[in-house]
Amino acid sequence: MGIERVLRDWRFAWLLLLLPAALFLPALPIDETRYLSVAWEMRLHGDYLLLHLNGAPYSDKGPLLFWLVNLAWAAAGPSVWIVRLGVLFVSFVSLLLFERLVRRLGSGSDDGNAALARRATVLFAGIVYVALFASAIMFDVLLTACVLLALHGVLDLDQQRWPRGIALFAAGLGLGLLVKGPVVLLDAGTVALLAPWWSETARSAKAKWYGSVLLGMLGGIAIALVWALAAYGVQGFWDAIVLRQTVGRVAKSFAHQRPFWWYLMVLPLMVLPWTLALRAPWRAWRDSLRAPAKTLRFAFAWFVPTFIAFCLVSGKQPHYLLPLLPALALYFAHVLGSDGARLRNRWFAALLIAAGLGLAALPHLAANPAAFAPVARMVEQGTLTASSLQVFAGIWPLWGLLAVALGLWLLRRRDGDAVELTLASAAVAMIGTLTLAQGVGPYVDVSVAAARIKDFQTRGQPIAHLAWHHGLFEFAGRLTQPLEKINFPQLRTWSAAHPDGEIVTFYSKYPITAKPSLELPYRFGRIRFWRAADILTMPEPQPVKPDEEDDTPDD
């Protein structure tokens, strides 16, 4: 296949470049391993309503992702790769939904404004963070597809297809609620609520518009309530979902608390390469704000209010912004279509070359930290540990050299092409995920530890994890029993009650002086096993301050 054919069939090339991540990247702790464990318990116990993690009810998320994971497992057996392939398929569907959405915005039909739609879709797919996340076993890829489905319902209302619009809007919101809860009402709802700004239909028939929007929202909520009430009952739904997960996260997030300006710092990095490559005259940016077209107003109503709301909420993670990135791509596509706008390769190419050289040199620097003064200082200060250096030393220099080659290929000409840069972003994602799979993969593989835990449980021998383990071992070991969790003050009491048992933990902060019976590499530390009898022989340890990470909930 020649380069011209690849550029014409860019979606196929994009999928092909991202396929290695789906096939070879292991489940990454702690989030992906936790979600696979929830899906595993669903499969194990056949309870498709009330979610469980380590045998306890799990109310942090909705069931839709776990239903789809089990559907994939029904076809190909419980494995990581089939789940990643499913997520990658959803990412591909999102591209199709987004392109059709922009076409419909252009002229009120599916065939309108094809050039803008294609350009916006290429820019959306070319965002490096989108490519990196395209097969992640997380909720935000699926949520993005639900948001796009809901927005198609909003466009049906704009085109006065009232019944279909209400039904699609309700379906998108309802499915989004089953994925990640009420955040979908913010991701998709602001476009509908601000419609008189961008929609002639909403301006001329406000009562009918907002009545239809309300019906769609109530329909979506009803879809989610059917599951929530069946799973939890009225009181359980109120306590677990409304108070803890919704009110608690908005008022004062119990995880990932960051300052209000944090997203302003990370967003330019997330939307690379376009922050470096997109060039346009000042008038193009100015005119887009002075008298924005319908498509731009739609994009602003989609992105701006929700982004501000996310900035004000205390809990922040980069992937929370994923459902808003199509709106940003639509804005970039408008600017790129202006007179004098262009793409430039050189800054992004220079970044790839610099990052590639650093990645290629990383194994040598990790193996010889004294040879490079900054690395030596980080070792002296404790920023880099022997375990982390061991992980970095195992990375192949080849991955860095591939990034350098990609940067040099982009440097062959000054002017950039949107499809070429999009495929370069997908290649960057492929290099990054293969680097993780080859270099870090062995240090996140907990299958040996999980098999030991499974062996203890099968033989009926007591085993407990010191501090909360986030369900790390359940899917990896195909555990059929919960892994008991104890706190540090309970350590000696538990050991005395179970002298033939074992203690396991991946936390390194606890002052346990007994010699472990087994140590296994894990991330930048160790998973350690101790015999309970050996715990009892060591002196009484000093109490330690509880680690906030021990009981950090789902993000």
- 419 vs 421: CA distance, rounded Å: 5
Task: Kindly report whether the peptide bond that precedes residue 273 is cis, defined as omega within 30 degrees of 0.
Answer: yes
- 519 vs 393: CA distance, rounded Å: 19
The structure tokens listed for 331 are: 């804005």
Pairing of strands 278-279, 342-343: antiparallel
Per-residue pLDDT at 367 exceeds 90: no
- 9 vs 118: CA distance, rounded Å: 12
pLDDT cut 90: percent of the chain above it: 70
pLDDT in tens, 189-238: 999 999 999 999 999 999 999 999 999 999 999 999 999 888 887 656 55
At 498, is the pLDDT very low, low, confident or very high (cuts 50, 70, 90)? very high
Q: Are 315 and 249 a contacting pair, CB within 8 Å?
A: yes
Per-residue pLDDT at 151 exceeds 90: yes
At 549, is the pLDDT very low, low, confident or very high (cuts 50, 70, 90)? very low
At 69, is the pLDDT very low, low, confident or very high (cuts 50, 70, 90)? very high
| Strand runs labelled E in 365-517 | 463-466, 484-486, 502-505
Instruction: Calculate mean pLDDT across residues 387-405.
Output: 89
pLDDT in tens, 103-123: 998 754 444 588 899 999 999
Per-residue pLDDT at 460 exceeds 90: yes
- 324 vs 124: CA distance, rounded Å: 10
At 495, is the pLDDT very low, low, confident or very high (cuts 50, 70, 90)? very high
Residue type (1 letter), 455? D
SS3 content of the chain, % helix, strand, coil (to 5): 70, 5, 25
Per-residue pLDDT at 172 exceeds 80: yes
pLDDT in tens, 249-308: 554 454 567 888 999 999 999 999 999 999 999 888 888 777 678 899 999 999 999 999
pLDDT in tens, 510-527: 888 899 999 999 988 899
**Residue keyed to tokens 């005259």:** 281
Per-residue pLDDT at 377 exceeds 90: no
Alpha-helical (H) ranges within 25-139 are 31-45, 64-76, 80-107, 114-126, 128-133
Question: Which residues lie across from 529 on neighbouring strands?
Answer: 504, 518
- 1 vs 266: CA distance, rounded Å: 37
Residue type (1 letter), 527? I
The structure tokens listed for 507 are: 């936390």
pTM of the complete model? 0.91
| Strand runs labelled E in 246-318 | 278-279
pLDDT at 313: 86
106-129 per-residue burial string, b: 16 or more CB within 10 A, e: under 16: bebeeeebeebbbbbbbbbbbbbb
Q: Which of the residue ranges 374-378, 389-393, 458-462 would you say has the lowest mean pLDDT? A: 374-378
Per-residue pLDDT at 50 exceeds 80: yes
pLDDT at 1: 43
Per-residue pLDDT at 30 exceeds 70: yes
Q: Kindly give, in sequence order, each residue whose CB lies less than 8 Å from that of residue 485, ignoring residues fewer than 6 positions away.
A: 54, 464, 465, 466, 467, 468, 469
